[in-house]
Structure 1
Amino acid sequence: MLAATRRTGRILPASATEERKAPALVSDLRISQQPALRRPLLIAGFAGWNDAGEAASSAVRFIHRRWRCEAIAEIDPENFYDFTQMRPQVRLRNGERFIEWPPNTFSAKRVDHLERDVILFQGVEPHLAWKTYVETILEVCRTFEVSGVLILGALLSEASHARPVRVSGSATDPELARMLGLDERSRSTYQGPTGIVGILSQAVKDAGIPMASMWANIPFYIQRSPNPKGSLALLDRINSGLDFGLTLHDLEVFAARFEAQVAADIETNPEVAEYARRVMDDADDEDDEEEGIIDDDLRDEIDEAADAGAELPDAASMVDELERFLREQRGDRGSDA
């Protein structure tokens, strides 16, 4: 089937000989096939600012590979990226060179045991033309009659690496909220900077499409990436809430190995180890024994951020706190000497 092209932006000027014809459209969206899908749910994850530990993008990629989803469309990266900041990659396939551009791909899966099918979007936060980029995603929603949108993200938080990864979020739709165990919220008081997730979230709500956002809370002092514990936490919630029937055993094994390696890394640095123990002690002092249960003030803060596009918390302040703690530790050692 020939690829269809759709436009959400520029119109080329018609020549004098073509002035009676409809204007030609230059498309950023390339639809390769249009399978018959039943009220599909769009699940989106973006690499970039809203993807701490690559937890969100890795979760979407896991579903794509496990289900062997078929590509149905892609967004041409030409108008959305500064290629001096995000350079194309040279790859080899069967000994032949090819250029790999920042991927923004839609893929689909017919899920026979469910009442609706699934579209996955694996994207990279763009540098330019965010309004056009988001409108292109909405065009896919209209074309395939998407019945709901679930946006995944991951944020840095003052969480313990030794505890289960907390999943927070909210939904504008009661059914999605119930299925995913999220708060139903429709308003937010957040004001401040946002990422592409925030822009897309607002656009989806303005378009009247039911939506939800889910966020993995990643310990800010862990430098290893990707973080499979974060991806596993998101996939666990999706798998149980939406009855996807995914087998997560191999990811669970990977996450356990990752946790062991992180613990070993931390123990090699006594200062960071002491700080990590302090974070865990603070978490234990809160009524936080069950995964996803947090105090009301923190729940309001995280859920408001999720409603507004799940803006990342101020990681710089947490880094400052860690550096201050390390300075205090060094100062104590100096006085002991």
Structure 2
Amino acid sequence: MSFLPSGSGALVFIAFEGQDADASEAASSLAKDLVEVWQLNDSQILDTDGFYEFRFSEPEILRDEEGTASIAWPGIAVHRGRLGELPITVIHGHEPGLKWREFLSLILGQIGRDDSVVLLGGLHAEVPHTRPLPVVANTEDRTLAAEIGIDANGYEGPIGILGLLAVACRWRSLRAINLWVGVPDYLADSPSPKAELALAKAVEHYAGVEIDIHVLEEESRAWELGADELVSLNPQLAELVRALEEAIDSADLPEASGDAIAAEFERYLRKRGREK
């Protein structure tokens, strides 16, 4: 069963760039590609002054063809349009560093009461690049979990902005699901089209929409070949990958890799909380 909104509600996608929610840029890249492929042309930039500490969310200098400089400040963009008759909203930008309560109110103000929300995230985990990358799907809404066949989130501990949004959506009786893709932690510095593709396929499965990004298939194969070459040059890394492959392949249940990434996610969040 799909997760599509009823009536006039929109399907809303939310992703943030940053260390806590966007491993290998899988979530933010998908959000940007959705805006392009679905031609969501009704766009606005939210007023997010005061939510960023620029030592950690640095502005960027950009130049046009003539070399003239401009500054791109961290912030949040909202894009709206339609996929056939279905209203679509994509919210993406930098995760906030300050005033999270106010930031939550700002984001929730962009979501209607009849909307369905998909929170997109990426996590570096102990998974091999040579196997399908696992995606964890869960929700704070137990009724919705049973309805669409995903887990009800039972995690307790430190939480990031996506987790806060998930809980806030539940408090407001908004239908919301979380989709997190696991990305090999030994390729932490590499954007991963394979992870973006896995996330896109999860969106298609759970949200019941089609995403026509054919180039991701080709880019994913190229990424995997590049990773193969990198691993082949490092015997210790090659041994690590073999061990991860054996752990995945020896699991009898297809959900085993998903369980592993869910456990890794909880371990990461707890570690992050201790370090603060």
Return the offset for 1:200.
1.2
The TM-score, its normalising length taken from structure 1, stands at 0.71
SS at match of 2:122: strand
SS at match of 2:70: strand
Is residue 2:136 matched to residue 1:168? Answer: yes
Measured in 2, the distance between the counterparts of 1:296 and 1:255 equals 20
CA deviations over 1:119-165 (Å, ceiling 9, x no partner): 001121111000000100111114xx452111011112211111001
Is residue 2:158 matched to residue 1:196? Answer: no
CA deviations over 1:184-232 (Å, ceiling 9, x no partner): 41x52x3322211111111111111111001101111123421111100
CA 1:297–1:59: 2 relative to 1, 3 Å: closer
2:17/2:95 contact within 8 Å kept: yes
Is residue 2:194 matched to residue 1:229? Answer: yes
2:10/2:115 contact within 8 Å kept: yes
Return the offset for 1:78.
1.5
Measured in 1, the distance between the counterparts of 2:132 and 2:147 equals 21
- Unaligned stretches of 5+ residues in structure 2: 1-6
SS at match of 1:156: strand
Measured in 1, the distance between the counterparts of 2:125 and 2:270 equals 9
Return the offset for 1:286.
1.1
Aligned 1:15-164 pairs, distance under 5 A: 38-48=8-18, 49-93=20-64, 95=66, 96-112=68-84, 114=85, 116-142=86-112, 145-164=113-132
2:134/2:258 contact within 8 Å kept: no
Measured in 2, the distance between the counterparts of 1:283 and 1:272 equals 17
Measured in 1, the distance between the counterparts of 2:92 and 2:11 equals 14
Q: How many percent identity over aligned positions? A: 25
1:173/1:210 contact within 8 Å kept: no
1:170/1:177 contact within 8 Å kept: no
Is residue 2:251 matched to residue 1:286? Answer: yes
CA-atom RMSD, angstroms? 2.7
What code does the residue aligned with 1:294 have? A
CA 1:295–1:65: 2 relative to 1, 3 Å: closer
Return the offset for 1:104.
0.6
- Unaligned stretches of 5+ residues in structure 1: 1-36, 317-337
Work out which of the two has the higher radius of gyration on C-alpha atoms and give 1 or 2: 1
Is residue 2:220 matched to residue 1:252? Answer: no
SS at match of 1:133: helix
SS at match of 1:244: coil
Name 1:265's counterpart in structure 2: 230
What code does the residue aligned with 1:237 have? A
Measured in 2, the distance between the counterparts of 1:216 and 1:165 equals 7
CA deviations over 1:61-120 (Å, ceiling 9, x no partner): 1111111212433322321011233222222346443221113111012122x5x31100
Measured in 2, the distance between the counterparts of 1:94 and 1:71 equals 26
Return the offset for 1:277.
0.5
Measured in 2, the distance between the counterparts of 1:248 and 1:106 equals 21
SS at match of 1:203: helix
